[in-house]
Structure formats: C-alpha cells, structure tokens
Amino acid sequence: MPQGKPDSVPDDGLTTRQRRGRPLVIVHTGPGKGKSTAAFGLALRAWNQGWPVAVFQFVKSAKWRVGEERALTTLGGSGAGGVVAWHKMGEGWSWIQRDTDDHAERAAEGWAQISRDLAAQAYRLYVLDEFTYPIKWGWVDVDEVISVLAARQGNQHVVITGRDADPKLVAFADLVTEMTKVKHPMDTGQKGQKGIEW
C-alpha cells in the first residue's frame, strides 16, 4: 500500500467512496504487547469523529482500573465527541484462566449483549477486548460470532483483541494484525509498571 493506495481494486461495482465506507472487522492478535492499546487508539479516533463507542472487556477484572477506561469514559461524558460505554465481564488477567461455569456464563452474557447491540445498531465502534480467549476456551462459539458479525447492519466497526485468534475469525476479518514480540522487559524479570501496562 504505497502512499495509502490499495494494491488492487476489485471489480465489485462499488465506487471508491462506497468501498471506503464499508464497516470493518479488525483483529489484533499475536504474542506481542500492544493489542488492546491499538484498539483503544481506534476508540479515541472514533470518539473524535463523534461515533458512539462501546468497550467490552472479557478477561480483565472489574476491580482493575486501566488508564484507557478512565480517559475514554471521561471523554465520552465530555460532550466534545461520541459517547463511550464501558463493560467488564472478566474476573482476572488473561494468563490466569479460571475455568468455571460462572466465568463462562459472564462471557456468554457479554456476547449476548453485544449481539443485541449490533442488532439495534447501538454503536459505531465496538472494542471486544481479549475476546479471543472466551472463543479459545469454548465459552463463545466462533461460528456464531462470525454469523452475527456477518449479518450486522449499518456502519458498525468491530475490533477484537487477544492472543491465539481462531483461524476462522482470522479468515473472516477484514484487517488482521499480529503483534510479535522481539524483546520485553519481562524477559529479564521486570514486572509491569504504571503508565506502561496500565
């Protein structure tokens, strides 16, 4: 894509403007840092455009206060851009999977709410943070996710984050970025720190 130009233009009968306005399914996956951070960057852009934004966090506990939540909910209530809704369904960090019925139920409830919101065209951007994990753990069916996303109406963009994205989801998505790790402070024993990890 030199200078923002596509490599090829499909013969689909759409104008450049129509093709540009297509809603996207975006996946940020891979073992590297920055998947959620990139998604929250998209949320900031959407807020600035006046779009209503919904963030659904599937693994991080409701007890944790992440900087992006405070910033985006403050901005969402400022009246200067779009509204921002923030939902947490998780019980702990993604590497502390506790396979219980309660967690599976919360993930299923979260997905059911997203499905309802998509049907109602409630938001313009949906951030499904760490949503690859409930799919990987079998709490949410990937075929159902793809079916619901494929059937969504209007101009609703969806970004999904998390490691180990299901190959079916990767094949379905419009844009997939795999974050790779070259090196990380944790490799030398340094734990996460304020302002960097949260």
Structure tokens at 125: 């951007």
Give the model confidence (pLDDT) of 115-133 as tens digits.
Answer: 999 999 999 999 999 999 9
pLDDT at 1: 46
Average the pLDDT over 125-142 and give the result. Answer: 96
Phi-psi map region of 100: left, alpha, beta (phi>0 left; psi -120 to 50 alpha): beta
Give the model confidence (pLDDT) of 22-67 as tens digits.
Answer: 999 999 999 999 999 999 999 999 999 999 999 999 976 556 667 7
pLDDT at 93: 43
Q: Where are the domains of the chain?
A: 22-179
pLDDT at 63: 60
Distance between CA 52 and CA 84 in Å, rounded? 6
pLDDT at 100: 58
Beta bridge partner(s), residue 157: 125
pLDDT at 194: 81
CATH fold, domain 22-179, is: Rossmann fold (3.40.50)
Asked if residue 115 lies in contact with residue 43, where contact means CB atoms within 8 angstroms, the answer is no
Element (H, E) at 48: helix 35-48
Asked if residue 142 lies in contact with residue 171, where contact means CB atoms within 8 angstroms, the answer is no
pTM: 0.89
